[in-house]
Amino acid sequence: MDYVLRTVEERDIRFVRLWFTDILGYLKSVSVAPAELESAFEEGIGFDGSAIEGFSRISESDTIALPDPSTFQLLPFDDDDSRMKTARMFCDISNPDGQPFYSDPRQVLRRQVQKAADEGFSCMVSPEIEFYLVKSLKTDGQPPQPTDNGGYFDQASHNDAPKFRRSAMLALEDMGIPVEFSHHETAPGQQEIDLRHADALTMADNIMTFRYLMKQVALNNGVGATFMPKPFREHAGSAMHTHMSLFEGDINAFHDPDDEFSLSKTAKQFIAGILAHANEFSAITNQWTNSYKRILFGNEAPTAATWGASNRSALVRVPTYRMAKADSRRVEVRSPDSACNPYLAEAVLLGAGLRGIREGYELPEPAEEDLALLTRRERQVMGYVDLPTSLDQALREMEKSEFVADILGEHVFEFFLRNKWREWHDYQQQITPWELETILEY
């Protein structure tokens, strides 16, 4: 706190934005003047929780945003105007009595991080975040236009935002978010930026910051950035492949040099937990009706609860790069898309893995086939359990899950289901152009 207060004064910062998210992962913000910052640290900022999606009922609306000083960073876009210098901090939401607020997604993840710590583990996360750059986000319901004609690792010959990735990486660096890789993905306009690993809570904060920054950098380049899971029928969807590992102190608990895949028993039980509960938490990692179009029709998107070494069609992939390097041993969960709430998604993934360890789940044999080429009947014969193919199916699985209810807490669990059932029913009511073209003349 002392560092933040001193920095705000020395750098002449005029505004401090306090950030938090609602249950669906939309970023919320309130600005405070520097003169109010000390009292914000001591008492928090009161607001009406009933006005935030899924937070509280009208009868219990008083909530408090408590800034987390460890998340203080200057925003990178106001350097040219000293009167506009702005910083941000993430907040934990609490009740007036000081108890953690049951509907705060950051608190949901914090509970799982604490459970991991109670069992001797810290969780490290590294995401590969895909998204599209399009000429405009205002399309009146028509398909957007990509900003370039590039493909995987291409240097596109036509590009409406040629400096985008360079500007994006500089913005992330200014915010203290280290980047491992940046490249063009498989489809026109599609980008991928991989963040260097961090602890789970820090990474969820980083993902929220990432989405904010990418949209701002895109606007500065005269284009739009979308994290919609599948905005194009003919192109691949946007995933957020999530690499995870558990550490015991400085030792990677997932590494065993004597195993065929360098995986420890702990790692295998962690994977088994994710596979066992994948259908139950699918609505969290893939929360939109559009998410399932990526899973069904996207390139290398997982369709069954399987794992494999280097198998990009499996739900959980075990990378085989640098297998002898203990710190690099990790698992890659390939179902989450770029439009999930990162706090809730990380919470259910970590919670499932921890349950697998705690209860000694057995890991099945790895899948070696390209699962996307198998029919549903072939997958059944081989013993593979299909993942949900629609939000409807995913919600039905989640409704039955005591596991997900325990991870999220009763209020988040119930509100999430209620909100997503409404989305599904709204989606079902639509009369699509395809229906009109196909059936109108019948």
Confidence at 55, pLDDT banded by 50, 70, 90 = low
- Tell me whether residue 441 is annotated as binding: no
In angstroms, the CA 32 to CA 54 distance is 24
294 labeled binding residue: yes
**CATH code for position 76:** 3.10.20.70
Determine if residue 397 is labeled as part of a ligand binding site: no
Task: With respect to residue 416, please indicate whether it lies within any of the assigned structural domains.
Answer: yes
Residue 182 lies in a domain: yes
Mean pLDDT of 343-362: 98
DSSP state of 386: B
Same domain, residue pair 87 and 116: no
For residue 340, pLDDT over 90 is answered with yes
Last residue within a domain, chosen from 38, 71, 102: 102
Domain span at residue 128? Answer: 111-437
Could you tell me the CATH number of the domain that includes residue 242?
Answer: 3.30.590.10
- Asked whether residue 244 is marked as a ligand-binding residue, the answer is yes
Q: Are residues 415 and 284 in the same domain?
A: yes
Ligand-binding annotation for 197, yes or no, is: no
3-state secondary structure of 368: coil
Higher pLDDT, 322 or 232: 232
Q: 99-144, pLDDT tens digit by residue? A: 888 889 999 999 999 999 999 999 999 999 999 999 999 998 889 9
Report whether 312 belongs to an annotated binding site: yes
Give the model's pLDDT for residue 376: 82
Mean pLDDT of all residues belonging to the chain: 91
Q: Are residues 116 and 85 in the same domain?
A: no
DSSP conformation letters of 184-237: E-SSTTEEEEEEPPEEHHHHHHHHHHHHHHHHHHHHHTTSEEE--S---SSS--
Q: What is the pLDDT of residue 182?
A: 87
- What's the number of domains the chain is made of? 2
Does one domain contain both 286 and 307?
A: yes
Q: 245 among the known binding-site residues?
A: yes
- Residue 59: the pLDDT is 42
pLDDT band at 153 (very low <50, low <70, confident <90, very high): low
Q: Which of 129-133, 260-264, 379-383 has the lowest mean pLDDT?
A: 379-383
Asked if the structure places residue 398 within a domain, the reply is yes
260: left (phi over 0), alpha (psi -120 to 50) or beta: alpha
**Residue 194 shares a structural domain with residue 281:** yes
Q: Are residues 98 and 230 in the same domain?
A: no
Confidence of residue 378 (pLDDT cuts 50, 70, 90): confident
Known binder of ligand: residue 180?
A: yes
User: For the chain, what is the radius of gyration of the CA atoms?
Assistant: 22
Q: How confident is the model at residue 152 (pLDDT cuts 50, 70, 90)?
A: confident
| Model pLDDT for residues 317-327, shown as the tens digit of each residue | 998 877 778 88
Confidence of residue 58 (pLDDT cuts 50, 70, 90): very low
The response to whether 332 counts as a known ligand-binding position is yes
Q: Are residues 226 and 308 in the same domain?
A: yes
User: Could you tell me if 380 and 307 lie in one domain?
Assistant: yes
pLDDT digits (tens, 9 = 90+) for 160-217: 888 898 899 999 999 999 999 888 888 999 999 999 999 999 999 999 999 999 999 9
DSSP secondary-structure letter at 219? Answer: H
The answer to whether residue 442 sits within a structural domain is no
pLDDT exceeds 60 at position 60: no
Same domain, residue pair 83 and 222:
no
